[in-house]
Amino acid sequence: MTEVNIEFIYQGNTIKIQATRNEYMKDIIKRYSIKISKDTNEVLFMYNGSKINEDLKLLEEINHKDEDIKILVYNINDKNIENKEILKQSKDVICPECGEICLINIKDYKIILNNCQKKHKIESILFDEYNNLQKINELHILCDICKKNKSEIYNNQLYKCCKCKIIICPLCKSKHNKEDKLIDYEL
């Protein structure tokens, strides 16, 4: 049985483990958890946007021909962020109602945001209020395939397909049509 290099990516650190395709995932994960001194009940293992079934063999769980496989590892405690907001300042001028890009005008020392895709118009915004209206909650930016929010995804990296206009995380990117052009979501 051929040897496979498995890269476990946890908090930005990569650890490689060698395994055979006939080996059970629980045995591979156990070797990895010993290396990082972490209980397997404290972490979650993901491949291609799905939780890994530890009772299956590598060949069954990741039916893959590649010799290098990347598995993302998350703290289970980090997943409990449903009620928190992760706010980030927008790089573009956005409509506070729909979050789409809009125009900004200034009249009589007050800001007017208008001309978004949904034709909203917000008037009489004071300068000191403007920055608070330009924050984006990253929990609302989701991968359209696996439905994970941006803050749950490794390196907070997302892509947008130029053809079908969906937002895709790095793990789901491999499942998407390779001929479609993907651009960085931040751009």
Do 123 and 139 meet the contact criterion of CB atoms below 8 Å apart?
no
Residue 182 clears pLDDT 70, i.e. is over it: yes
Q: Is the dihedral of CA 144, 147, 150, 152 positive or negative?
A: negative
Residue 187 clears pLDDT 70, i.e. is over it: yes
Q: In 3-state terms, what secondary structure has residue 48?
A: coil
pLDDT tens readout for residues 17-75: 998 888 888 999 999 988 888 888 888 888 766 778 888 888 777 766 777 788 888 87
67: its two tokens: 């010799």
pLDDT tens readout for residues 131-178: 888 988 777 788 888 888 887 777 778 888 888 889 998 888 878 887
pLDDT band at 90 (very low <50, low <70, confident <90, very high): confident
- Residue 64 has what pLDDT? 64
- Residue 104 has what pLDDT? 95
Could you give the domains of the chain?
3-79 (3.10.20.90), 91-133 (no CATH), 140-184 (no CATH)
Task: Determine if residue 156 is left, alpha or beta; phi over 0 gives left, psi from -120 to 50 gives alpha, anything else beta.
Answer: left
